[in-house]
Structure 1
Amino acid sequence: MTVHPSLQPSIDAWSHSIEAISELVKPLVEGEWNRATDLPGWSVRDIVSHIIGLESEMLGDPRPIHSLPRDLYHVRTEFARRMELQVDVRRHHTGPEMTAELEYMVIRRARSLRNETRDPETVLRTPLGEDRTLAYALRQRAFDVWVHEQDLRHALNLPGNLDSPGAQLTRDLLLLALPKVVAKDAGAPADSAVVFDVGGALEFMRTVRVDAQGNGTIDESVSLGPAVTLAMDWETFFRLACGRVRPAAVAGQVKIDGDRPLADAVLEHFAITP
């Protein structure tokens, strides 16, 4: 048996991003490992630790037995505590130790993915403690790794891969969330439309339409007379959607045409990641 064709795009996106991360961190000196990122309380080292930890759990490795310090200001929820465990246990690892563990994990994980023969609908327990299908889990790991690749690039001032397979997978996942953001979270009125006009490395235009019952759908057709149009570049789009920046911080990079209060409400609820 071979890998199911529907899983291959996620595997390819994951492989591209994880290899890029390996290349990014390989030449880092110790001070660069400690550089702060956009994620509260997390350094470059911490993001790499997070990736190593979650991918190791996907391989079936046990979670480490470790007590978190009580003074971690950014750890406020049980979800955050779960994510922090794999990070804090590596906080005193050196750069060479980090790169060695990352490279070993990548070898093991890549081998596992090459030999993946399970049905995409197989249910498994994810590192987040959820029961999800294999297809969902692999897609989420590809998404997570690409977004963290961008976190690292932003912290290290090494931009790139904004149109990679991982970027395209991320775009598709983020677009799926927009109907809820517009119709439910932002409370767009019935029979209205909100257009997202995105340029840059990935260009696309999507319209979220809210029907008479207040339900949202998304399509690629152009809306005549939308309630609001939000225009921005791809990097601003995904950084907002992934909670890396607040709307006020990128106000100059988002062009708003139409209903300003509705636009503000959409932007306020734009972040969809935990």
Structure 2
Amino acid sequence: MTVHPSLQNYADAWTHAVEAIAELVKPLVEGEWNRATPCPSWSVRDIVSHVIGMETEMLGDPRPIHSLPRDLFHVRTDHARYMEMQVDVRRHHTAPEMTSELEYILIRRARQLRNENRAPDTLIPAPLRAEQTLETAYRTRAFDCWVHEQDLRAALGVPGNLDSPGAYVARDVLLEALPRVVAKEAGAPAGSAVVVDVTGSVEFLRTVRVNAQGEGSIDGTPSLGPAVTLATDWETYVRLACGRVRAAEVADAVKVEGDEDLARAILERFAVTPN
């Protein structure tokens, strides 16, 4: 059996991203594994540990039995604690141990994908003892791996793949959260519209419209009189939406037209990935 057609796009995006990650870290010497990345509080080693850990969970391997140190001050939520477990347990692993485990896990996951015969709506375990559909899991892993590939590229000074299959999965995931940011979190007024115009490797224009009940929706039709227009490049959009930079740090890369207070409120809440 092969991957279900509705899962194939995510499987391809995941494969492209994880193979890029493996190529990026394969030649690194020991000290380079400790380089800081744009992902808050995580090093190169930490990101690769996270990828390994999440892929082992997709394989159904048991989570490690491990107690987190009390001085990990960046770990503030249950979700962060869950994710940190797979990271902290590998913090003293050597470079050969890291690359060997990553290679082994990717071989096993590739075999799993080739033999996948479950329906996309099959429920499987999710973090924090929740459940998710297989399709959601595939999409999440493709998105997560592409974002972390970009973290590694930034840390190692090797830019690339901003228009790879994973980039388009990331676009869709990030845009899905935009109506909530504009309508609920930034409090855009009922009847208003906010336009986001992104150029670069991945180009798109989207309008978030807030209805009379204060609920947001998104479409690709331009608004004739938006309350705010935000224009930026794709890389900056990703860095903002994934919480890699604050709005003030990239102010020169974001052009704002319209209500400056609303624009500021949106940009301050633009990060949609969990901490």
> What pairs up with 1:136-151 in 2 under 5 angstroms?
136-151=136-151
Does structure 1 conserve the Cα–Cα contact (< 8 Å) formed by 2:2 and 2:113?
no
TM-score, normalised via structure 1 length: 0.98
What fraction of aligned residue pairs are identical, expressed as a percent?
A: 72
Q: Which residue of 1 aligns with 2:41?
A: 41
> What pairs up with 1:55-94 in 2 under 5 angstroms?
55-94=55-94
Q: Secondary structure at the match of 2:129?
A: coil
Structure 1: where are the runs of 5+ without partners? Answer: none
Mapped to 1, the partners of 2:97 and 2:17 lie a distance apart of 21
Aligned residues: 274
Are 1:209 and 2:229 counterparts? no
Q: Which residue of 1 aligns with 2:270?
A: 270
Q: Secondary structure at the match of 2:243?
A: coil
Q: Which residue of 2 aligns with 1:130?
A: 130
Q: Which residue of 1 aligns with 2:106?
A: 106
Q: Which residue of 2 aligns with 1:121?
A: 121
Q: Once the two structures are superposed, what CA deviation does each residue of 1:217-266 show, in whole Å capped at 9, x if it has no partner?
A: 11111111111100000011011111111111111110001000010111
Are 1:253 and 2:244 counterparts? no
Mapped to 2, the partners of 1:142 and 1:263 lie a distance apart of 30
Amino acid at match of 2:219: D
Mapped to 2, the partners of 1:173 and 1:105 lie a distance apart of 25
Q: Secondary structure at the match of 1:197?
A: strand
Q: Once the two structures are superposed, what CA deviation does each residue of 1:174-219 show, in whole Å capped at 9, x if it has no partner?
A: 1111111111111111111100000111111111111122111111
CA RMSD, Structure 1 to Structure 2 (Å):
1.0
Q: Which residue of 2 aligns with 1:154?
A: 154
Amino acid at match of 1:156: L
Does structure 1 conserve the Cα–Cα contact (< 8 Å) formed by 2:40 and 2:244?
no
Shift of 1:128: 4.8
Mapped to 1, the partners of 2:192 and 2:181 lie a distance apart of 14
Mapped to 2, the partners of 1:180 and 1:40 lie a distance apart of 23
Does structure 1 conserve the Cα–Cα contact (< 8 Å) formed by 2:228 and 2:257?
yes
Mapped to 1, the partners of 2:191 and 2:41 lie a distance apart of 42
Mapped to 2, the partners of 1:32 and 1:128 lie a distance apart of 32
Shift of 1:78: 2.0
> What pairs up with 1:171-190 in 2 under 5 angstroms?
171-190=171-190
Amino acid at match of 1:28: L
Q: Once the two structures are superposed, what CA deviation does each residue of 1:89-148 show, in whole Å capped at 9, x if it has no partner?
A: 111111111001000000000110111100000011024532010000110011000000
> What pairs up with 1:164-243 in 2 under 5 angstroms?
164-243=164-243
Q: Which residue of 2 aligns with 1:6?
A: 6
Does structure 2 conserve the Cα–Cα contact (< 8 Å) formed by 1:231 and 1:256?
yes
Q: Once the two structures are superposed, what CA deviation does each residue of 1:40-89 show, in whole Å capped at 9, x if it has no partner?
A: 32110000000001100110111111121111121222221111111111
